[in-house]
């Protein structure tokens, strides 16, 4: 029997130029997108840890949680996972439609972003201001949390 499951996984999905961060942070005109690097491989790792890790933990432990009188799942997200930070209108539309949201629809969004990383079109598709994989992985986790809350 398990009473509470806390998922607190998180990686940024980026490589940061630490020297540029130290020298520029807080200064007028500081631009995050000039000091971070996002790649397909980093994005893939980000989704594996931030979305698929908690999802698999939930799937594995729900049977034990169902034995509890007061089961709880806490999926730690981030303010960066707010839907307002998902700038791509298509993706935001899918993730914000609570009535029609399914795990398959979430996968569709994730796969499209990963494809855009492969194609080098993440910036032109306007996924997020910066840290696109992180933002979308946390928004996807929030969506998944809504799905399992409704289901159980």
The residues annotated as belonging to the active site are: 134
Cα separation, 57 vs 50, whole angstroms: 11
Radius of gyration of the chain (CA): 17
132: DSSP letter = H
Q: In the chain, which residue ranges form alpha helices assigned H by DSSP?
A: 18-24, 40-47, 53-65, 89-96, 103-119, 132-151
Contact between residue 76 and residue 10 where contact means Cβ atoms under 8 Å apart: yes
* Token reading at 78: 């981030």
**What's the number of CA atoms in the CB half-sphere (13 Å) around residue 131?**
22
- The burial class, CB within 10 Å (0-12 / 13-18 / 19+), for 86 is buried
């Amino acid at each position: 029997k398990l009473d509470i499951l806390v998922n607190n996984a998180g990686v940024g999905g980026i490589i940061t130029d630490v020297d540029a961060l130290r020298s520029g942070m807080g200064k007028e005109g500081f631009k995050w997108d000039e000091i971070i690097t996002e790649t397909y491989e980093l994005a893939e790792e980000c989704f594996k840890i931030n979305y698929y890790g908690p999802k698999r933990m939930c799937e594995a432990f729900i049977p034990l949680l169902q034995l509890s009188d007061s089961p709880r799942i806490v999926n730690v997200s981030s303010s960066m996972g707010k839907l307002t930070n998902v700038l791509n209108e298509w993706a935001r539309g899918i993730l914000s439609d609570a009535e029609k949201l399914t795990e398959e629809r979430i996968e569709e969004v994730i796969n499209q972003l990963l494809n855009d990383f492969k194609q080098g079109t993440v910036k032109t598709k306007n996924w997020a201001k910066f840290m696109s994989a992180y933002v979308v992985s946390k928004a996807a986790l929030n969506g998944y949390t809504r799905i399992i809350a409704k289901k159980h």
